[in-house]
């Protein structure tokens, strides 16, 4: 695998993740690359791992911000969700490539006649269309889930902050009670 092919593949994947290319167009572009299926899968797995590492790091940063008492912005929340969505998209793309590899292996091993191969491809095309519809539906769901997640973040953080404030108020009440006892002792 040449470094140029690897970079070309990463560029194709980034266009998919940015929403510039559809999954179908991405699949066509990936087919045109002169890489073996295993090499393509390896590149996608590396990209998934990098994004998972970034997600873990972002999770730690958000936790640190929360513990420091700072507010997490909507942009940070959305960036977190987008990173999770991109990981799911890459995993779907990896699955499509693996299915394609399996289909090619089946075709070679079983030696299916051309008619059966066409039927198989038609079935895959229908499945791909269904997956595309599913992806569009998922995008819509993510849009609404993002709003829900932001609200959930706000609710959780306000609960935690509320607990911390309640504990702080309890300490203040204890101190005030102790001072009242001291005053009573001195006045008696």
Tell me if 47 sits within 8 A of 13, measured CB to CB: yes
Band (pLDDT 50/70/90 cuts) for residue 17 is: confident
Tens digit of pLDDT for each residue in 172-183? Answer: 778 888 888 888
| pLDDT value at residue 136 | 85
Give 113's DSSP letter: -
Helices (H), the chain: 3-17, 23-32, 37-67, 74-110, 114-187
Q: Could you give the CA distance from residue 187 to residue 185 in angstroms, rounded to a whole number?
A: 6
| pLDDT value at residue 102 | 73
Tens digit of pLDDT for each residue in 123-161? Answer: 777 888 788 888 888 888 878 888 888 887 777 777 776
Tens digit of pLDDT for each residue in 52-88? Answer: 999 999 989 988 988 888 888 888 888 888 888 888 8
> Domain spans of the chain?
3-187
Length of the chain: 188
Maximal C-alpha separation, the chain: 106
Q: Could you give the CA distance from residue 7 to residue 16 in angstroms, rounded to a whole number?
A: 14
Q: Could you give the CA distance from residue 124 to residue 131 in angstroms, rounded to a whole number?
A: 10
- Asked whether the predicted pLDDT for residue 32 surpasses 70, the reply is no
- Asked whether the predicted pLDDT for residue 51 surpasses 80, the reply is yes
Q: What does the pLDDT average to over 4-25?
A: 71
| pLDDT value at residue 2 | 58
Instruction: Please state whether the predicted TM-score (pTM) of the whole model is above 0.85.
Output: no
């Amino acid at each position: 695998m040449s470094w140029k092919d690897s970079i070309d593949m990463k560029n194709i994947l980034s266009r998919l993740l940015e929403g510039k290319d559809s999954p179908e167009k991405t699949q066509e572009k990936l087919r045109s690359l002169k890489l073996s299926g295993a090499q393509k899968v390896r590149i996608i797995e590396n990209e998934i791992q990098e994004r998972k590492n970034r997600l873990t790091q972002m999770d730690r940063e958000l936790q640190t911000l929360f513990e420091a008492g700072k507010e997490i912005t909507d942009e940070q929340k959305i960036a977190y969700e987008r990173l999770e969505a991109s990981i799911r998209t890459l995993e779907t793309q990896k699955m499509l490539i693996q299915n394609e590899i399996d289909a090619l292996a089946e075709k070679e091993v079983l030696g299916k006649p051309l008619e059966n191969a066409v039927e198989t491809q038609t079935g895959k095309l229908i499945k791909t269309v269904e997956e595309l519809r599913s992806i569009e539906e998922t995008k819509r769901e993510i849009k609404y889930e993002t709003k829900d997640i932001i609200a959930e973040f706000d609710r959780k953080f306000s609960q935690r902050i509320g607990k911390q404030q309640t504990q702080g108020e309890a300490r203040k009440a204890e101190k005030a009670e102790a001072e009242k006892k001291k005053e009573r002792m001195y006045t008696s």
